[in-house]
Structure formats: structure tokens, C-alpha cells
Structure 1
Amino acid sequence: MSEDHKKQLEQQLWNIANTLRGKMNADEFRDYILGFIFYKYLSEKMYRYADSILEQDGMKYIDIDESSEKGREYLEAIKEETLEKLGYFLKPSELFSEIAKRGNSDKEGEDNFILEDLRKILTNIEQSTMGTGSEDDFDNLFEDMDLTSTKLGRTESEKNNLIAKVLTHLDNIDFCIEDTELDVLGDAYEYLIGQFASGAGKKAGEFYTPQEVSKILAKIVTTGKTKLKSVYDPTCGSGSLLLRVAKEVEEVNEFCGQEMNRTTYNLCRMNMILHDVHYRKFDIRQEDTLEHPQHLDKRFEAVVANPPFSAKWSANPLFMTDDRFSHYGKLAPSSKADFAFVCHMVYQLAENGSMAVVLPHGALFRGGAELQIRQYLIEERNYLDAVIGLPANIFYGTSIPTCILVFKKCRENSDDILFIDASQHFEKVKTQNMLREKDIEKIVSTYRNRTEEEKYSKRASLNEIAENDYNLNIPRYVDTFEAEESIDIEQICKDLVELDKQIVETDKTIASFCKELNISTPF
């Protein structure tokens, strides 16, 4: 897809979103727009697969008569195959295009009220999976799309008109899902998630990591690999980070993630399916990762995360017997869970795996329990591979500077830790700082080659880090000091003397003008 086509598609989607923008805030209309895009995707996958089954009979899925006995036989057979292949089922009359057509119909005698049918269809999609392997992946997937909300309109008719309008606009967009080389729909979905995140203030951090940061994390954990057995994100949000990792390799066999927020958890499952990740290949759970971890029996080849910065957690003393935390001697403080997430992720990391996590800068140098955990990870385990400083104000909803910590259990370069200061390499776009492609490439290539560059990167020995009491603050290792231009005091003195002479001459000139004009001098 050309860049122009991509921009045109993004503009079309944003125009549709604006249909709802005046009715509700970004968080709310996000759920409707993304939900309808997901419904359109499911419909297109359904009829394309059904058409392929019916091809030998010279039939199209949309032409099946649902009321006839023969038609019901066809539907039963197709349903069985579709549930196995796609994980869900839609009847011809339930397809997105059919509902959009009905909602926009102005034919005399044809009922264009679709609201009630739409509610039933979304429920039917979820219920079609009951008792199958995809049941957990579709359970309550559309629960955030409240079609009874007064925010859609005061009357049922107003709500119906608005929804019909949105569906009609979406129906006119070709997402090219038959082209397996393109991921137009997935990219469009990611675009909208990013747009909603930028307008959602502090809440944005709950479900979205900027693509530039995701790209860095993904490239780091896939260094030297073309396939991954598994990738895990303990705070997976909308799943964009998991999916970004998949773009860096030829194949990922398993995606696992955990998300506490119910709405964001639904968003993540939709995002997985929209990016054509088979329901058997992903396992996304809704729970508090620190308090109730869901994947403790697994070890992952790639672990990535952008946990909520300095979140609170219970730090219950009982966790001192938990294998994730027991080795460190202390728990991360209850007011700052940053290192609780690190300990959890290290526990889930496979021996041959790589892990990259985004943290606030304070995690590099805070004392107390966090210092003890840092020291254990470096001195006792030697797991820390790199520390990367990012620019401030690149995350939605917070302007604080952040960093990436990279961990490996089997490090190739076990004698030193690489420090990269990328904090000054960015482009300012409106109120947000953005990492450019060249900034991303510089970080990644510096990490992969472990190159040292003055004022940018340094390999610090373990002894040097120990001498700094395991304080990982980047300026201790990467000297970014810029010497100020030297000042010639002697020349300045001469300039001042000359200036005084000029002032005296100017005063004389002014005095002579005043005398000619017969007025008082100003001094």
C-alpha cells in the first residue's frame, strides 16, 4: 500500500471517528469505532471463508436461503468448519455489509431500524464460540459497545441513524483483507488506537505504547533471531507491543499477555484477531499480574513491557516466599512497583531469552529495596545487559523521561553493561517529542554492535558500576558535558573602555543639539 493510500485511509477513519466525537469523549467513542471495525473484519473473514467452501457448489454464502431446509443444512455444515478454522460464526443475514445496507435503506416498506438486530448479532458472535476452543478469546468481547447509551442519541431513532451512518461509512472502505501480504486493517486499527491514545490524556498509558518505543523494544528482543517460540507482555494493554515483536521475525508460535483493565483486555483480544493471529496462538488473560499472575508455569523467549510507571502494589510480606521475589531479600516498595514488574518478568524469562522493559528514570538510582534488587540482578546474577535513556515527553499522558532496561540470563558480553544516552535525539511535533526513524536505528544498531560513541554510548565494567554503588544513572557513565565557549576577559575589558569613550562622545553630541534647540540636556 502506497503512503498516499495509507494517509487517505487514515483520514477516512478519522472522519468516521469524528462522527461520534461530538457525542462523547475519546475513550468512549474509541470503543464503538474499534468495535465496529472488528465486526466488519469478522464478517469479511466469515464470508470469504464460507465462499471458499461453497466454491465447488458454484454458490456464494450471501445467496443461501436461511429459511429453507437446504439452506439450514448448508449453514450447519459451514458453521462446523468455520468454528474450527476461524473460531466464530456469522449467518449471511448477520454480515456487516447486510446490516449496513439495511440501516441506510430508504426503500419504501423496508425497515431500516437495525439497532436491536445489531445487539443480537454481537451477542450471537460471542455465543457461537461457546463450548469451543475459542470461547475464552471471544467471551464478552463486545461488552463495551453499549448500543443503548443515551450518548448515541436521546431517542432510539437518533441512535439508529448515528450507528447506521457510521456503519455505512465503514462499509465503503476496502481493507484488502484478501491480500495476505498487506495488513491494511491491522495498521488502520493501530493508527486509530494511537490517535485515541494521544487524545485520552493520562488514561492513554493504560493501553498504548507509542509505536516508536515498541519498535525499539521489539528489535532489541529479536536481535539475532528469525523465529520465536513465545513472546510475553505482563502489562499488555492493547497488545501493540506483542504484535510489534511479531513484525520483526518470520514467525511467533505463541503470544501471551496479561491486562488488568477489562476494556483494554477486550481491545487486546480484538487486536490479536484483527492482525490475523489465530485464536489458538494467543493467550491473553485479565488479572492483576503482580497479585494474580496467570502464566507462571511458562518461560518465554522474548519478554517486553511498558508497565504503569511507579504504580502502587500491595508488597504483601507473603510475597517473600513467592519464587518471583524471594531471591532478592526485599520487595519493591508498595508505592513504586517498577522493580516488582522487573522481578516478575525476569522470573518468566527463558534461559535463552531477551527482555526489555520501559521504566521511569528514578528506577535507575533510587535507594532502599530498589538498590538491593538492582545490585542482586547485576552482582549475583549478571542479567542486566543494557540501559537506554529515552527523551522526555514521548509517552502520552506523562512528560517524564524514561529508560529501557535490557536483561538476558545468558549474556554474550558478560563483562560490561552498555549505556546509551538517546535523550537528546528526537524531533518535537506539536507538544510531543517523537523518535525519528534515524533515532530508532541509532539506538538499535548501537545496542546490537555494542559500539561506544562519545557523548552517546559507553560500555561500563561491572567494577565501575559497583564503585558507583549500583547507581545506574546514565550521566555517571556517558559524559554529555558540553564545555562552554571560553571568554577572553582582556578583550571584554578593552571593549568596555571603548564603549565608555563612545558614550562620552554621544553625550557631547546630544548636549550640542539641546543647546541649539535651547532645551535642557537629559543628563
Structure 2
Amino acid sequence: MTQDIQFITRTKSLIDNLKSVCANYGLGNDGNEYKIITQVFLYKFLNDKFRYEVRQVRPELLETDNFLKALQDLSADEYNFLLALIDVNAPRLKAHHLISYLHNKQNEGDFAKLLDDTLREISIDNADIFSVKSSTGTKTKLFDELSQFITDPSKRDTFCKALINKLFEFSFEEVFNQKYDFFATIFEYLIKDYNSNSGGVYAEYYTPHAVARIMAQILVPATVSGVKCYDPAAGSGTLLMSLAHQIGEQNCSIYSEDRSQKSSNMLRLNLVLNNLTHSIPNIIETNTISDPYYLDTKFDYIVSNPPFKLDFSGFSADLGKDSFKERFFAGVPKVPKTKKESMAIYLMFIQHIMHSLSTTGKGAIVVPTGFVTAQSGIEKKIRERLIEKGWLRGVISMPSNIFASTSTNVSVVFIDKEADTEHIVLLDASKLGETIKDDKNQRTVLTPAEEAKIIENFNNKISEENLSVVVSKADIAAKNYSFSAGQYFEVKIEYVDITAKEFKAKMVGYETNLNALFAEGNLLDIAIQNQLKGLRYE
């Protein structure tokens, strides 16, 4: 644990140092800063991951005083044999791609061009493993030409040198043989300053870890292997990472879609950090609702925190056509005359997820809590379908402000094609949690004990007063398909036995109090009338 804390501290220091370099060259809080930080961070990780993989198969190369020279001294055949030995999902670097090589070249001219050329070569050599695809099959490159973000050509060399010097200061290698759970903290720290970009918000990338853990541990209470996991609005992949950790990275493949290029790049980095490099080819940059890449693929597990409201009026009319009706069985929200940005796009994601589950598939979706009680419309049609099909496993209503970026109350709907329809768990966690200050916002944080209680009650189908209730599909149908736990809690009326004498005394007391209040009211009426009589117009 101490080693983990030290590593996290040092890694956060690296991120701060890279941000400082950007700020010194006029790129602090610039729209391109996140690209520089994440791409340089990725380059550092690939460099150290390559060294680590070489150490596993040829430890003598790293036992030398100069690994760079030892690699340079290999013949072409020896180098190719080395690549054949290391993990197929590991990066493939040449000697002149290493940070140590660039660090040694700082006194030579055109350093910015050298760095850009190096990153371009790494992109080409590793495209099959690390590139993100669009729905058309086009692959994105790993790295931009970082020097081009500096508008003054005379400063590009020194800018690139400053970046390399920061990368040279420590190594990731010491933790590659550990579980990567602590990378969640690092990744959150890495992106926390990129709160907005062209109208996007931080919620686009981040789901609270407590919510992610609860979803994963409820979805996967037992050991599974060889499964496909999917998020149709993945963001940075927090939900997918928690799910993969719960299953075991080696036991699952990750699939995702998201229309945001920034999200796709963040997710790629998160997969690399979390030992899920083998799933990078499954990241697709596309509009999941109108142009899904995985339309005909069925998944074992689906997790999602989709955008709740978004203007999708530009393609909503197409979604009502016959070719979309099987997927969007409950319909498409109407385009409002004003406030088109309030269109409930999350309803389209719920329907898409239901369509994408395998015959034994399981899913967990974050929704606005209003969804669970809406009396009509698309919301109710979806709830009816879940009950009629016997797919609802349960619902958890989360505390207010559990998302720092929104005050919207949220619930998590759990879908299971093999659900026990006589024991559906509805849990109201709205009164749990502790309020903390998160920058300028108030946020509710669940304690570890509360997380454990939620998971235990849900997985073991435990009814607990004012927290959880177990109901049948017939019970839910009788309540107009409400998924709100509060509507099923038993209303208790406490009865107290009293004698006739005690009852009479209580009634006399009530009568005396009422008479006193009436008398006081009469006096006030008289006082008000006297005040009105004294008013004069002048």
C-alpha cells in the first residue's frame, strides 16, 4: 500500500510537471493542453512498458549499465526475435524511439522535428494494437505532432526538450506486475482540469468510482470468463474498467462506442493503464444511436452512464423509420419547439442496450430518477417491457449529488435476461452517504460500509426497513410499473392503548388549547379592525 501511495504521488507530480511545461509555453488551459498531456503520458507509458516486457524475456539486456546501447547493438534478426518473445499486446519500439535516446540528443538541432518523427514512427509501427477506429474503419493516429501546438517556431525545440526532461525523471516499470486499481485515482487526476471543451462537460468522462464498483459487484457476483463487455457511451471508461477488474482483465474483452474523439482517446489511455490493451481495437468512434458499429453484436455485460439530455433533433426523424423500430420499440422523444438540448436521449440508449444484450445478458444503466416513476410516455413503455419480458433484476436509487457535476438525482436500473421475477430488489439509498466539498461543489460520498450494505442487500435479496424491498413482477404491474422502492415500503401505524379516562383528559386538553387559540384570534381581529379605522387619506 505504501508503495502504491508513493507511486501515485510521483505520477501526479509528473502530470503537474507536464502541465507546468504547457503553462510556461502559453498552453495552460488551452484547448490543446489535454492532447499534449495525455499523449506525452501515453508515450512515457509505452516506453516503460516496452522496457518492462524486454526485462521479462531478456533480463540481461536491462542488467547492463546502458539498456539503450544494448538494444542498439542487437542485429536485425536478434531484434525481431526479441519482439517475437514479448507479449503480443506490448508496444514495439526501436532503440531510437526510447526516451533515453531523445534525452541524449537534446544538444543537437531540430529537436522538435526529432520528437515529432519519433512519435509518428511509433504510431505507424503500433497502429494495429493501439489505434482507435471510426465506424467507417478509419484508424486514428496515436500521436499528433506535438511541436505544432507551439505557434512560435523558435520555441518548439525548447518546449519539446522540456517535455522529454520531465519524462526522464522516473519510471512506471516498478508497478507493471501489480493490479492496476490505483490507476483509477491517477486517471481521474489526469483529466480533472478538462472540465469543459466546446460545450462538453466533465460528466462526459467520469462516473463516481463508488457507483462503478456497486454496478460491477452486483452484475458479476460470481466467477465468469470469456465474456464480452460493452458500453455504448463509454466516455473515459470508468464503468468498463470497474467491470473488467471485477471479472478479471484476462477473462473479458471490452467493446465501446462514443462519438467524442476526446473520449475515445481517453478510453484508449485508460485501457493501456489497466492492462486491457488487447481491447483497444474494439474502441469505435461513432454515433451509437444513429450509426452503431456493433448493431448485430450481442453482449454478455453492458454498463452505461449515458448522456441524459442532448439535442439529437438532427437525426431523430430517421430513428422513427421502420428500419429502427425493432431497436427503438418504445418510440423516439418529440423535438421540442424550444430547448432542444433537453431531449431525453438516455431513453434511446436504454432501448439500444436492451436490444444489444445476449440471450443471457446482464446490464446496469444510470438513469435520472424521474425515469423510475414516470406515469406515461416512453419511460413507462420501457418499464412495462422490462417487466413483461421478466428482465428486471432491480433498481437502486442513489443519494442526491453523488455526481459532483450534476444535481440530477440518479438511479441504476439492473437488467438480467435470466432475472428472478418473483424476487426483484428495489433499494432506496437516497438517505445514505456523507456530504463533502469537491472543489466548488457539494458531493455525496458513500462510505465503504454503505457500499457493502447496498451490494449485500441487493445480491442476497434482503428486505430492510426504509432501505430495500423485494417484490414480484405482479407487484410492480399493480403499482403502474413503478420502480421506486418507497412506493412498496410498508406503512406502519403505531397504536397506543389508553383508558377511557386518559382519552377524556386528552380531549379536554385539546379543547382547552383550541378555545385559547380562538380567543387569541378574536383579539387580533379586533386589533386589526381598530387599526384600519384609524387610517386616513391625506
TM-score tier (shorter): 0.7 to 0.9
Aligned CA distance change for structure 1 residues 146 and 7 (closer, same or farther; 3 Å): closer
CA contact (8 A) 1:234 1:305 kept: yes
The residue that corresponds to 2:158 in the other structure is 161
- CA separation of 1:408 and 1:317: change in aligned 2, threshold 3 A: same
Whether the aligned pair in 1 keeps the contact of 2:399 and 2:432 (CA below 8 Å) is yes
- Counterpart residue type for residue 282 of structure 2: D
Selected match of 1:368 from 377, 380, 400: 377
Counterpart of 2:140 in structure 1 is 140
Q: Which residue of 1 aligns with 2:6?
A: 5
RMSD: 3.7
Matched ranges for 1:182-221 at <5 A: 182-183=179-180, 186-187=183-184, 189-193=186-190, 195-196=192-193, 203-221=201-219
1:256-405 residue pairs with structure 2 within 5 A?
256-279=255-278, 283-313=282-312, 314-316=315-317, 319=320, 321-322=322-323, 325=326, 328=329, 330-333=331-334, 335-366=343-374, 367-378=376-387, 380-405=388-413
2:68 to 62, 69, 86: 62
Which residue does the alignment assign to 2:431? 424
- Structure 1 CA distance, aligned partners of 2:7 and 2:458? 31
Tell me which amino acid in the other structure corresponds to 2:432.
H
- TM-score, with normalisation over the residues of structure 1? 0.79
Once residues 482 and 165 of structure 2 are traced to their aligned partners in structure 1, the CA distance between those partners, rounded to angstroms, is 57
CA distance in 1, matches of 2:36, 2:492: 50
Q: Distance in 2 between matches of 1:160 and 1:491?
A: 91
Q: TM-score, normalised by structure 2?
A: 0.77
Tell me whether 432-441 or 9-18 shows the greater mean CA deviation: 9-18
Would the aligned equivalents of 2:398 and 2:429 in 1 still touch at CA under 8 Å?
A: yes
SS at match of 1:388: strand
- Counterpart Cα distance in 2 of 1:481 and 1:97: 72
Match of 1:246 in 2: 244
**In the aligned structure 2, how far is the partner of 1:188 from the partner of 1:115?**
32
**Structure 2: which 5+ residue stretches go unaligned?**
336-342, 495-507, 521-538
Cα distance in structure 1, aligned partners of 2:308 and 2:416: 22
Residue of structure 2 in register with 1:504 after alignment:
none
Q: 1:187 to 1:389 in 2, by over 3 A?
A: closer
Give secondary structure in 1 for the equivalent of 2:147: coil
On the 8 A contact 2:34/2:194 being kept in 1, the answer is no
1:247 partner letter = H
Match of 1:121 in 2: 118
CA distance in 1 between counterparts of 2:116 and 2:284 reads 25
Post-superposition offset of 1:436: 2.5
For residue 521 of structure 1, what is the aligned residue in structure 2?
Answer: none
CA offset at residue 155 of structure 1? 3.3
| Inter-partner Cα distance in structure 1 for 2:470 and 2:143 | 50
Contact between 1:141 and 1:266, CA under 8 Å: does it hold in 2?
no
Aligned length: 478
1:98 aligns with 2:101: yes
TM-fit CA distance, 1:337: 1.8
For the structure 1 residues 54 and 447, does the alpha-carbon distance in structure 2 shift closer, same or farther, using more than 3 Å as the test?
Answer: closer
CA distance in structure 1 between the aligned counterparts of 2:56 and 2:229, rounded to whole angstroms: 33
In structure 2, the partner of 1:180 is: 177
> Structure 1: how far apart are the matches of 2:102 and 2:492?
64
C-alpha contact 1:47 1:62 (8 A) present in aligned 2? no
The counterpart of 1:35, out of the listed 24, 30, 39, is 39
Aligned to 1:518: none
CA distance in structure 1 between the aligned counterparts of 2:71 and 2:187, rounded to whole angstroms = 37
Describe the superposition over 1:355-403 as per-residue Cα deviations: whole angstroms up to 9, x where unpaired: 001011222233222222221221x212111111112222243111111
What letter matches 1:375 in structure 2?
A: E
Stretches of structure 1 lacking an aligned partner (at least 5 in a row): 104-109, 501-523
C-alpha distance 43-17 of structure 1, shift in aligned 2 (>3 A): closer
Select the residue among 223, 227, 230 that pairs with 1:229. Answer: 227
Deviation at 1:308, TM superposition (A): 0.7
Matched, 1:467 2:478: yes
Counterpart AA for 1:345 = I
Change (3 A) 1:6 1:300: same
Which amino acid counterpart does residue 413 of structure 2 have in structure 1?
L
Distance 2:186 2:344 in 1: 32
Bigger CA drift: 318-327 or 113-122? Answer: 318-327
Counterpart CA distance in 1 for 2:385 and 2:300 is 22
Cα distance between partner residues in 1 of 2:399 and 2:181: 30
Query: Aligned equivalents of 2:280 and 2:15: distance in 1?
Result: 31
Distance change (3 Å), C-alpha of 1:253 and 1:114: same
Structure 1 distance, partners of 2:428, 2:117, is 54
Give distance in 1, aligned partners of 2:395 and 2:179. Answer: 35
TM-superposition CA deviations, 1:280-329 (whole Å, max 9, x none): 67511110111111112322211100101123433335555347745735
Contact 1:310 1:360 in 2 (8 A): no
Deviation at 1:65, TM superposition (A): 7.5
In 2, distance between residues paired with 1:176 and 1:383?
45
1:17–1:360: structure 2 CA closer, same or farther, 3 Å change rule?
farther
Structure 2: distance between partners of 1:403 and 1:10? 34
Question: Whole-Å Cα distance in 2 between the matches of residues 333 and 114 of structure 1?
Answer: 56
Aligned identity (percent) is 20
Q: Deviations over 1:441-497 (max 9, x none)?
A: 2221111111111111112333332233223344323479999xxxx9879979x99
Residue 254 (structure 1) shift? 1.2
CA distance in 1, matches of 2:452, 2:10: 27
Residues 298 and 492 of structure 1: CA distance in aligned 2, closer, same or farther (over 3 Å): farther
SS in 2 for 1:428: strand
**Residues 219 and 444 in structure 1, CA contact (< 8 A), matched pair in contact too:** yes
- Structure 1 Cα separation of the partners of residues 111 and 317 of structure 2: 51
For residues 30 and 489 of structure 1, the distance between their equivalents in structure 2, rounded to whole angstroms, comes to 72
Query: Deviation per CA, 1:8-36, whole angstroms, max 9, x where unpaired?
Result: 33542453254135733286433322221
Contact 1:255 1:282 in 2 (8 A): no
Residues 90, 125 of structure 1: 8 Å contact kept: yes
Distance in 1 (CA, whole Å) between partners of 2:345 and 2:247 is 31
Q: Structure 1 pair 441/10, CA: closer, same or farther in 2 (3 Å)?
A: farther
Does the 8 Å contact 1:456/1:480 carry over to 2? no
CA distance in 2, matches of 1:111, 1:188: 38
* 1:457 aligned partner: 468
SS at match of 2:193: helix
> 1:337-370 deviations in whole A, cap 9, x for unaligned?
2221111111211222220010112222332222
